[in-house]
Amino acid sequence: MKAKEIIHLNNDKRKELNPENLKYYEDMLVYIRLSYNKSQEETEEILLELLEHLLEAQKEGKSAKEVFGESPRLYADQIVGEIPKMVTKERLSFGASIILYFLGASALAAGVIKLVLYIIGKSSLTTDIYLGSVFLKTIISLPLAFLLLYVLLEYIRWSLFRNINKVVEFMIFWLFGLITIGFFFALVYFTPEFGPLWQWPFYGSLILGTLLFALGYGVSKIKN
């Protein structure tokens, strides 16, 4: 089976778990899936095997802790260590798709914001852009976005298997969101304007964003 089919099967079978086993297994599932340098198909096959093993044990009245142990993080780390890494082509496809999705989301957001500002009478439908500035912002924003994504994923992995207060967790994500938005606003504000001037219509951003998303989706489907 392909990874997508295994994921659908996993989603259906997880419904058979009781609440305690479901919480334990889903934490393990997210932790293992966020090992982003591992083969997706191999990862999903192992996760399905773990789920089927747990379902069989549940029928015998056993809990996930009895099956996998009191240290799920240690057990998950052992599993992650056995999963083959992505091959080079798969890594390139994964990285390129993330870049294209990020650029597509940025372009769509810019187009939507411009349209909203026009509707409320705060802007025109075109923007004066300097090509040199746009290029520089893109070059700086890409590694910044990857860094912020890495920090977010590492926090999520760290928070799994822990009982974190929901209010505290909300505040952490809220603060992280503010910092992220602040970084990108600072990038836009402090980048000097240089290069050829171009009047860019709002629908250009919408079209560009849609094309980048479509291209990212296509790249993500490239097989070994």
The verdict on 76 and 139 lying in the same domain is no
Tell me what the mean pLDDT of segment 139-167 comes to.
88
pTM, two decimal places: 0.78
pLDDT reading at 222 higher than 90: no
Residues 6+ apart with CB under 8 A from 172: 155
Integer Cα distance of 77 and 55 in angstroms? 21
- pLDDT category at 36 given cuts 50, 70, 90 is confident
> Is the CB of residue 82 less than 8 Å from the CB of residue 45?
no
Tell me what the mean pLDDT of segment 71-96 comes to.
85
Q: Mark which of 32, 63, 82 sits at the end of a domain.
A: 82
The verdict on 73 and 107 lying in the same domain is no
Range of the domain at 49: 3-82
**In the predicted model, what is the mean pLDDT of the chain?**
89
Q: Mark which of 30, 52, 82 sits at the end of a domain.
A: 82
Calculate what percentage of the chain has a pLDDT beyond 90: 49
Residues 6+ apart with CB under 8 A from 98: 146, 149, 216
The verdict on 213 and 105 lying in the same domain is yes
Integer Cα distance of 96 and 87 in angstroms? 14
Give the SS3 label for residue 128: strand
From 128, 85, 124, 105, select the one nearest 224 (Cα to Cα): 85
The verdict on 78 and 93 lying in the same domain is no
Structural domains in the chain (count): 2
Calculate what percentage of the chain has a pLDDT beyond 70: 99
Assigned token pair, 73: 């993080």
